[in-house]
Structures are given as structure tokens and as C-alpha cells.
Amino acid sequence: ADEFQCKYGKCIPAAGRCNGTAECKDGSDETFVLCRNNTCPELDFRCTYGACMNSSVRCNGKKDCADNSDEVIPLCRNDFTDFNICTERLIDDRQLSRAVDCNNLRLKCDNGQVLKEPTRCDGHVDCEDGSDETLARCAEAECVPPLFRCAYGGCAFPKAACDGIEDCADGSDESFELCGRELPSKTTTTPKPVCTLPPQPQNGSYVMGGTVQGVPGQTFSSFMLKYTCDEPYELLGASTLFCFNGQWTEELPKCVRFCKLPKHPTVTYLCQISGDDVFNGYRECDEKEPEGTVVDPQCRQPVYYYPGNLRYMRCIDGEWDQLITCIPECGRLGTPADALLLGSQGREARRNELPWHVAIYRRPHHTQICSGTIVKNDVVISAAHCFWNVRGLHPVSNYVVAAGKLYRTWNHPNDSNAQTSDIREISVPVRFQGSATSFQDDISLVKLVSSLEYSVHVRPVCIDFDFNFDSRQLKVFSVGKIAGWGRTASGNFSEVLRVADVPYVSIQDCISDTPAGFRVYITSDKICAGYKNGTALCEGDSGGGLTFPARERGTIRYYLRGVASTAVNNQRLCNEATITSFTHVVTHAQFILEHL
């Protein structure tokens, strides 16, 4: 980095590069290609090929620039009008050159030829003797970006470098040193290209920069256009365009209506890329899209889905023909992974297996007391008695909810995907009075302070209040799923979530198969499920959801049908030889919908 290697191999100090003096024998340290992009300090003089020099070197009778441009500039011959950039050449309302009146520029070539217009130093030879495109004439021409500066000082089309066309009179824009290849020899002479003013845009207009004005169809060597649109139309394309020798810096813009795209977090929006009515793939959609844009909306899988057929969205006259919102993937069993409940016969759950199942903890020691079921990202359904004593509901500050858990311990190190939230509100039916009313209406809606973020580990169960659908699912021999961390046959709580498949039991069988003293708790809003073979709900399992599967458009989804309420106890707080009663969700449809 501290040295520069000359073309023939010798190394010189890096400071010797582009300093005006050729320190390499082959002059490779002072070339147009090497130095052309130099930016000189404001008070320095810039040699035409790019080297920066002290301003005092100008016109001092000595060659200080390698190309001698410091001694051939118009200033050295007291010529103050010989500039190629005129006042009408503007971009972004900023002049590209000194304020020189183009009408005062000399129109004569060195051989006496008179030009029709003062178009010197534009890369195209107009004088028969070529004197309008020389270092002497163009050394101090100002080529402010986006114009391309030729080696002799002329200003060419912004994209002139290596475009396969010689836009500079000396061919420096297509030189081998710059482009790494040579152009075929010229055999014909083409006429000088011109810029033609385009028609005014529909629903908008443009104005020319500077003092020169024209009408559509009129030709100029170069000009700048500034576009605006009428309300409510907006510009599609660049607002400022520059035409130089027939070449445009940008495509002509259009004034069109735009559609604001209210991006929903459940949807990925892919805009079609098309040209000449040919589909060329997709791009990410912007916040606003022009009229005619076609969007392919896709649900963010695997967390969200669309119950129907997703159709393309189209921007028409400033409005989308439809807006798509996807819904959470409810009731889908997670992909079993990391194989590691209820009663002694339930099996250990697999991570993600029941992503709607949550644990409810009591502060201050974060003791797991109940379970619950996610029905919305900020609502959990559980049992009312989990939060109740004889005096009524406990304060919400006593509890916290954790989702995405496999282990019962509050901060278990292997529960890396767990999400927790404080509780904002607990709602229970007005008639619920706990054991005083035999646990009638034993259901609660728990609203969370922090919304859960849906993922493969945390997703809602499906919930539906259609009585016919409910009846089809709750038939004898129908098998549902329950889960929990409750006590096992040994009397200890299970550290790992356990899940069991249990059959629905008719009310008649439920009453006949349970002890007489327990039948009072099989109230009118209860359903029953379970075995008498060691698979049962125990202390710590209350509030968990009883879910049953249904096939929907080829997908198995589980629907919440019951909330674990009561079971016959023994001294170990887990009687495996009994059926469990659940609060029937559909009978509390009005309560749930009012508080959901």
C-alpha cells in the first residue's frame, strides 16, 4: 500500500502516483486510466487526466502536468469564453459550470470554419480540423457527474466507459487500458446523435433545466428534464433525467397511481417481475407498488395458512383488488423431535408435540399448579378453580404462564424455546363458585400481558362452537389427547410433560362408572373421557385441554372440546382407576366469545 508498481515492474513511493510528474520511465504512474477518478481539494488545480497540483502551477511557463494541460488551458491565452458547458446544462437545480452565456462562446474553428451552434468538448468532432475537441480547447472543461470525462477534457455520455461506442473524440472511453479490449476499426462515419424532447407524460409534465426552452419533438445536443405528476398520480422512475448526444441517463418516467401495501405479519408478499408481458421471477414488494403490479401472497409457513385458495393481488386504479390475511395453523401436532403424562400409563411427550399446551405457575416460587390451552396469541383457556378460593379469584399478579415447555421446572435449561407472560386478566363465569356449586362452569379465559409469538413450538388449538361438529367428534370410541405434568402413581409430579390418548365416555357410562359421591360433580356442562386402567388426570393436570382430531382439506387438526376439571381423588392425589370429567367448551360458547 506504500508503493506503486510501474507497468514495467519498478516500484515507486505511492505518493508519486498522480502527482503530475512521471516517475515511472514508462509514465504508467501518470495515466488517464489511473488518475481519472481523482478528487482534488477545492483550491488545487486538476490536470486534465486527473493529477492534483497547486493552483500556482497554471500558466507558469513550465510543464507541471504530465499532459501539459496546465499550460494549454484557455486562461493561459487570456481566453475566458472558451468553455464547453453552458448555463442550460443543469442537474438537480445545480449548475454544472461557471455562469457563461452560450451565445458568447466562439463558433469558429481554428481553420476558420463557423459552427452552427457552440458544441465544443462534447466528445463529437464538429470542426473539420478537429480543433473543437482538443486538449487546448477542452483542458478546463468541467465534467461534473454524471458526465464521463475524456482524457483530453471533453465531456461524454455518463455511461460512455466501455459501452462499445467511442463517445470521446480521442477514443479514451474505449481504450485498451481502460476496457481491456480494442474496438474494431471504424469504416463509416455516423452522424452526430441529437436529443429529442419527448411528449409530455400523461397525468403530469416536465420542464427543461436552465434558460433554454423547447417543445416536444425539438432537438438539442443535450438537456435536462425535471418531471412532476398531477395529484393523485406519482412518478414511476427518476424525477430528473439528462440526455447527452442522444443517450438518456434513465428511462422516461411515467405518472401512475400507486397502491399502498399494508403488509400483514402473517403474509409474505412477492411481486412479479415482468417485461414485455413475460414473467421473469419475483422480488420483494415495497411499501407502495405502481398500478398493474401483481402480488403473489404466501402464508408464512409453517405457522400460518389460508383456508381457501390464495389468489394473486392486483393493484388497480390505486387500490388492491383484495387483501390477504393468513390465520394461525391451529390444532396441528408438532413434528415429534427430541423424544425424551397422565397417571403412570401416559407416555412422555415429544418436544413440539402439543404446541398449544401451556403451564401455569404460582408466584413467588414459580410452582406449576395447572395447565392451559392457547386459543389466541394472548388468550389461554384453563379451569376456573386454578385461580379460585372460597373468597373468590386470586389476584392476577399471583400467576404467570409459560408456553413451549417440555419440562415442569420453571427455568429448565433445556426449554430453550419457552415463552412466558404475566397475566393481565382472568375471567370466569359469574355462576362459578367452586366446590360450593359442584364446579359447575369450571372454565376461565386468561388474557396475557405479552402476546405469544407463534412458531413450531407455540401454536393455538382450533376452537369451534358448531354443535353438530361437536357431536360428530364426541362419540363413543372417539379418541382425544390430554397432557400434563401432574402427579403419577408414585405420588410425585412428572418433570417431563406426559401425553395420553383417551376415549370419550358417554355421560351414562361416566355416571355409572364413578363413585356415588363423585357424581354430584358431573354437572350439566361436563363431558367425560379416560380409562380406568391407570391413565388418568391427577393433581397438577387441571385446566389442560381435551382435544379431538378432524380432517380438514387433507390436514388433521385438533379441536378443543373439554377443559380438565375434576376427578376422584385418593390419598395420593392421583386415582388411576377413574374417569375424568371436563368442562364442555361448546356449552360456554357465549362466555368465551364475549371475552375472547
pLDDT at 105: 54
Assess whether pLDDT exceeds 90 at residue 517: no
pLDDT at 186: 55
* pLDDT category of residue 451 using cuts at 50, 70 and 90: very high
The answer to whether 239 touches 250, Cβ cutoff 8 Å, is no
Residue 549 lies in a domain: yes
Say which residues have a Cβ less than 8 Å from residue 195's Cβ, sequence separation at least 6.
219, 220, 221, 222, 223, 243, 244, 245, 246, 248
Domain of residue 215, CATH code? 2.10.70.10
**Mean per-residue pLDDT, 133-154:** 83
**Mean per-residue pLDDT, 309-329:** 93
Assess whether pLDDT exceeds 50 at residue 385: yes
Whether residue 440 sits in one domain with residue 420:
yes
Task: Judge if the upstream peptide bond of residue 191 is cis by omega within 30 degrees of 0.
Answer: no
Assess whether pLDDT exceeds 50 at residue 327: yes
Residue type, 98: R
pLDDT at 473: 96
The answer to whether 380 touches 419, Cβ cutoff 8 Å, is no
**What is the rounded distance in angstroms from the CA atom of residue 326 to the CA atom of residue 268?**
10
Domain boundary among 203, 238, 256: 256
Quick one: which of 147, 153, 156, 152 has its CA closest to 124? 156
Whether residue 426 sits in one domain with residue 320:
no
Whether residue 574 sits in one domain with residue 472:
yes
Measured CA to CA in angstroms, residue 173 lies from 20, 141, 357, 475 at distances of: 21, 16, 69, 84
Among residues of the chain, what percentage have pLDDT more than 90? 43
Whether residue 387 sits in one domain with residue 416:
yes
Assess whether pLDDT exceeds 80 at residue 83: no
pLDDT at 433: 93
229 beta partners? 204
Residue 527 lies in a domain: yes
Q: What is the mean pLDDT of the chain?
A: 84
**Burial (0-12, 13-18, 19+ Cβ within 10 Å), 339:** exposed
Residue 223 lies in a domain: yes
Q: CA quadruple 581, 585, 590, 594: dihedral positive or negative? A: positive
219-268 per-position pLDDT tens digit: 887 888 999 999 999 999 999 998 887 888 889 999 999 999 999 999 99
Domain of residue 533, CATH code? 2.40.10.10
**Mean per-residue pLDDT, 460-481:** 94
pLDDT at 99: 36
Vertex 329: Cα angle to 327 and 334 (nearest 5): 165
The answer to whether 359 touches 418, Cβ cutoff 8 Å, is no
Whether residue 392 sits in one domain with residue 374:
yes
Query: For the chain, what's the residue count?
Result: 596
Whether residue 473 sits in one domain with residue 513:
yes
* pLDDT category of residue 7 using cuts at 50, 70 and 90: confident
Domain boundary among 212, 230, 256: 256
What are the cell numbers at 85?
458547458
Whether residue 471 sits in one domain with residue 577:
yes
Assess whether pLDDT exceeds 50 at residue 571: no
Which of 172-186, 399-413, 417-431, 526-540 has the lowest average pLDDT? Answer: 526-540
524-566 per-position pLDDT tens digit: 999 999 876 655 566 668 899 999 999 988 889 999 999 998 7
Assess whether pLDDT exceeds 90 at residue 147: no
Quick one: which of 540, 541, 532 has its CA closest to 575? 532
Measured CA to CA in angstroms, residue 43 lies from 32, 56, 139 at distances of: 21, 10, 17
Say which residues have a Cβ less than 8 Å from residue 135's Cβ, sequence separation at least 6.
48, 67, 68, 69, 72, 152, 153
Range of the domain at 429: 353-448
What are the cell numbers at 51?
493529477
Say which residues have a Cβ less than 8 Å from residue 167's Cβ, sequence separation at least 6.
123, 148, 150, 156, 157, 160, 173, 174, 245
Residue 242 lies in a domain: yes
Number of domains in the chain: 4
Whether residue 264 sits in one domain with residue 251:
no
Residue type, 487: R
270-283 per-position pLDDT tens digit: 999 876 566 678 99
Task: Map 23-38 to HEC letters.
Answer: CCCCCCCCCHHHHCCC
Residue type, 146: P
**Mean per-residue pLDDT, 414-419:** 93
Rg (CA), the chain: 41
**Mean per-residue pLDDT, 120-138:** 83
* pLDDT category of residue 429 using cuts at 50, 70 and 90: very high
Measured CA to CA in angstroms, residue 414 lies from 199, 409, 458 at distances of: 69, 10, 16
pLDDT at 109: 82
**Beta-carbon count within 10 A of 179 CB:** 15
> What is the arrangement of strands in the sheet containing 247-248, beginning at the earlier edge strand?
204-208, 222-229, 240-244, 247-248
Domain of residue 308, CATH code? 2.10.70
Task: Judge if the upstream peptide bond of residue 503 is cis by omega within 30 degrees of 0.
Answer: no
Q: Alpha helix locations (H) across 82-239?
A: 135-138, 176-179
Whether residue 286 sits in one domain with residue 249:
no
pLDDT at 73: 83
The answer to whether 544 touches 363, Cβ cutoff 8 Å, is no
* pLDDT category of residue 419 using cuts at 50, 70 and 90: very high
Residue 60 lies in a domain: no
Residue 272 lies in a domain: yes
Whether residue 559 sits in one domain with residue 473:
yes
Q: Mean pLDDT highest for which of 33-42, 270-279, 443-452?
A: 443-452
**Mean per-residue pLDDT, 141-159:** 83
**What is the rounded distance in angstroms from the CA atom of residue 464 to the CA atom of residue 68?**
88
Q: Which helix (H) or strand (E) holds 582?
A: strand 580-584
Whether residue 435 sits in one domain with residue 316:
no
What are the cell numbers at 257?
397511481
pLDDT at 463: 96
Assess whether pLDDT exceeds 80 at residue 180: yes
* pLDDT category of residue 500 using cuts at 50, 70 and 90: confident
Assess whether pLDDT exceeds 60 at residue 382: yes
Quote the DSSP letter at residue 407.
B
The answer to whether 2 touches 14, Cβ cutoff 8 Å, is yes
Domain boundary among 222, 237, 256: 256
Task: Look at phi and psi of residue 92 and say left if phi exceeds 0, alpha if psi is from -120 to 50, else beta.
Answer: left
* pLDDT category of residue 337 using cuts at 50, 70 and 90: very low
Residue 36 lies in a domain: no
Measured CA to CA in angstroms, residue 582 lies from 424, 438, 482, 592 at distances of: 25, 13, 11, 16
Measured CA to CA in angstroms, residue 33 lies from 38, 67, 161, 172, 177 at distances of: 10, 13, 11, 9, 7
Whether residue 506 sits in one domain with residue 392:
no
Assess whether pLDDT exceeds 50 at residue 188: no
* pLDDT category of residue 189 using cuts at 50, 70 and 90: very low
More confident of the two residues 76 and 362: 362
Residue 138 lies in a domain: no
